[in-house]
């Protein structure tokens, strides 16, 4: 929501309306641990509220789908194996 609210985001108001009914998942301590692991292993950029958090939330909550336009870090097929290996070693260990 923060990213969509940014004034430089194209069509931000329309995008906010589109996602207004989506329920946010909670950020629990385990998610913070996963974020740290992604950053320490250099899988995601060192911004704890950016890509690492987005991916950690989806992984921890075992989301079936992760909607992203970020092909550099999240939807990058070259990172899928690294992400899976990191998730397997995380406390929740589901390998998502």
Summarised one tens digit per residue, pLDDT across range 22-71 is 887 888 999 999 999 999 999 998 887 788 998 999 999 888 888 787 77
SS3 call for 19: helix
Q: What is the pLDDT of residue 38?
A: 93
Q: What is the pLDDT of residue 49?
A: 79
pLDDT bracket for residue 96 (50, 70, 90): low
């Amino acid at each position: 929501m923060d990213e969509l609210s940014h004034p430089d985001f194209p069509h931000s108001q329309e995008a906010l309306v589109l996602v207004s009914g989506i329920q946010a998942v909670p950020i629990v301590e385990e998610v913070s641990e996963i974020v740290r692991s992604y950053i320490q292993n250099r899988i995601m950029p060192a911004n704890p509220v950016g890509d690492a958090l987005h991916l950690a939330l989806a992984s921890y909550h075992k989301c079936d789908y992760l909607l992203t336009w970020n092909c550099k870090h999240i939807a990058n097929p070259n990172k899928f194996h690294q992400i899976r290996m990191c998730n397997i070693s995380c406390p929740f260990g589901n390998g998502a």
